Amino acid sequence: MGMSALGVKIGPLVMNSPIVMAGGIFSYGEVNIDFVNYKKLGAIVTKTVSLKPRKGNPQPRIWETSSGMINSVGLQNPGIKDFIKNTLPSIKRDGVKVIISIMGEDEEEISRITRILMGEKNSYNAIELNLSCPNVNRDEIMTSQSPEMTSKFVKSVKRVCGDMPLIVKLSPNVTDIVEIAASAEEAGADALSMINTVKALSVDFKNNRIIEGGLSGPSVKHIGLKAVYDVYKKSGIPIIGIGGITSGKDALEYIAVGASAVGLGSGFFSNPLLIDEVYDTLSRFLRENRFKTLADITGLLNEKKKQGQNMGRNFRGKRY
């Protein structure tokens, strides 16, 4: 049996659907949400796990904006050992791939956590290295803001995880995301997740305070699209496009500019049927435009493919 039309390969990771629940928005995948259609889901990325437990940030952690939300959860998690013992066994799978998101303060720590995780390598399918949480050590730079640091962290994980697929999650808060992506790729990343939330701030005059955190939702979609477009042009590894997807058409846009898969985030909170909508739109698009697989349309509107076989094909994207 081959893959279904919407099956995708993210490097060595094979998924039945290109739809991924992005890191941090679906707990660890252990919460049973009856209305989530697992048949249409490709993978779940867990909340980010660190070596030691992290209490996370104080309230307020959530702030609605005019077209999205700011979050400041701060990577609350029980630590890798507790996670492996108490949460990993209860992650619901049903054919959905499990991607464990990890973070580390330095190279030694990220190596250690990877080593611990590799002891359980049959219990999950890939690792996502979160180098880009805007809510930790806010005054310092994020690892993914430095090509050198990105390279060191990715190498530290890849040396230990070997054949285990490694996805690297990047921040849009950089001068040139293409440079960071290249450095992750060169260091051994199998795929990229982009974008993480965008650093942002709200003013709350009711309490005369500011709310800082990471912005998500429709307001970041065009930042994500531009990042995916630019990186796809230069990069040779698959991209999971994330940022402000609230419809099937949004997902199609990410794929058309270069994403091989799409991550859903806060849009799912607003619309619990988003997984079905994205899946059904992508299926319909392939069928109506006579494409065989999703890989055929990845990057369709990216200038990288200008000389490619797909240019000039009269597909009908505006109907979606």
Report the interface residues with other proteins, using CB under 8 A.
24-27, 31, 33-35, 47, 55-56, 59-65, 67-69, 71, 73, 76, 217-218, 266, 268-273
How near is the Cβ of 25 to other proteins at its closest, in Å? 6
How near is the Cβ of 61 to other proteins at its closest, in Å? 5
C-beta closer to other proteins: residue 263 or 299: 263
User: Which of helix, strand or coil describes residue 122?
Assistant: helix
Taking Cα atoms as reference points, which of 26, 40, 83 lies closest to residue 280? 40
C-beta closer to other proteins: residue 164 or 264: 264
How near is the Cβ of 30 to other proteins at its closest, in Å? 9
Taking Cα atoms as reference points, which of 125, 202, 133 lies closest to residue 166? 125
| Phi and psi, residue 125, nearest 5° | -120, -15
- For residue 277, what are its two tokens? 């909508």
CB-count exposure of residue 122 (10 Å: 0-12, 13-18, 19+): exposed
Beta bridge partners of 62: 71
Active site residues: 133
How near is the Cβ of 63 to other proteins at its closest, in Å? 7
C-beta closer to other proteins: residue 73 or 182: 73
C-beta closer to other proteins: residue 63 or 254: 63
Q: What is the CA radius of gyration of the chain?
A: 19
